[in-house]
Copies of this chain bind each other. A is one copy, B any other.
Amino acid sequence: MKTARRVKRPTLKQLAEAAGVSIGTASNILNNKSGLHSPETVERVLTAAHRLGYRPNRVARSLAARRTHTIGIVMEPQHAIFTRNHYATAVLDGVVEALAPRNYHLKIITLNDLDPRTLWTQLDDGTVDGLLLIVPLMGSPLLEYHQHTHLPCVVVGSTLPKSLGFYCVDSANEPMMRLLVNWLLEQGHRRIGFIKGPDNQWSAHQRLKAYIETMADWGIEAPPDWIAPSNYEYSGGFAEATQLLQVRPRLTAIVGSNDLLALGALDACAQHGVRVPRDVSVVGFDDIPMAALAKPPLTTIRNPIHDIGYAAADALLQQIETGAPLQGNCLMEGELIVRESAAPPQSRKA
């Protein structure tokens, strides 16, 4: 029975000694910069590494190479709860998927607050090669990014004004919302209500704009009481739909500008004895997992969030590795998912 205690992990130096080569040679071989090395030397080093149980110290490597092979993902503090943030969770999945095969690592950066005195020290601390900013909000200190750091950066889930200088990967909010509203109009709906997301999110404004413009395309000017400002949450959808149900003459359809809002609207309808889709159609935006399980199953637009996360990570790595800043934005579309919560409006027996 061996009682040898390996107090410390072997270092490259020890490995080199054990293999009878120089430390530089050992380093090269372990980093696959061979082809320049005799097969037997390679063999000797690899064998010794295995025998000693050598494991490279990535921290030392990062310091010397000035590359950490790690990226950070940054959220607004109030959004940093994954169980209540399907968007961030799905982005995370996409990022993880993009990183794994490229052997990059991922750091979740959780900010307690966005105090500008400490913010940039936390973000730019040498531990990451680049940053993914998840749905930065209007007015966020994060938008001053380029004044404070030169770390490569990609914005996810907000399509920012060009002037801010970020490369953004996001849903094509306007085309997608147009598609959705257009479809409702084609189904025969004219009196369509809209529950809007929070004022500090770009996507909320973009989706609302698309709704208004699409209605206008059909010659309809939506009055203020058809548009309910809310917050992208179930409870908001429930509350606002309750209001929209009071509009007279009645609305025949309600657009939740995300699925959570629509799900809340669905339950508000059920609670008030309004049948969906017979009395009113309800549609959402995102196609979160719960949408398909709703009663009735929710008609919505698939938001390719996972792919957005993947593409964003991909773009960031490219920027890190080429050093070239990315141009323009990447806006991804998603198709309409027709389920059972929407149908052509019934002619009503008044």
User: What residues make up the interface of A, taking CB atoms closer than 8 Å to B?
Assistant: 9, 55-60, 62-63, 68, 70, 80-84, 86, 89-90, 92-93, 96, 99-101, 105-110, 112, 120-121, 124-127, 234, 263, 267, 289-290, 293, 295, 306
Contacts and interface: CB of A to CB of B under 8 A. Distances in A.
The 8 closest A-B pairs by CB, nearest first: A57-B126, A58-B125, A106-B108, A59-B126, A295-B295, A82-B89, A100-B110, A55-B121
Contact of A100 (B63, B112, B126, B263): B112
A293 B121 CA distance: 42
A286 B290 CA distance: 17
A110 B120 contact: no
One complex includes copies of this chain to the number of 2
17 contacts: A55-B120, A55-B126, A56-B125, A56-B126, A57-B63, A82-B90, A83-B89, A83-B93, A83-B289, A84-B289, A89-B89, A96-B108, A96-B110, A101-B112, A105-B107, A105-B109, A295-B295
A73 to B, nearest CB: 9
B83 A90 contact: yes
A306 B83 CA distance: 9
B110 A58 contact: no
Contacts of A56: 121, 125-126
A105 B127 contact: yes
Contacts of A82: 82, 89-90, 92-93, 96
Nearest to A50: B117
Contacts of A92: 82, 108
A47 B92 CA distance: 39
A185 to B, nearest CB: 29
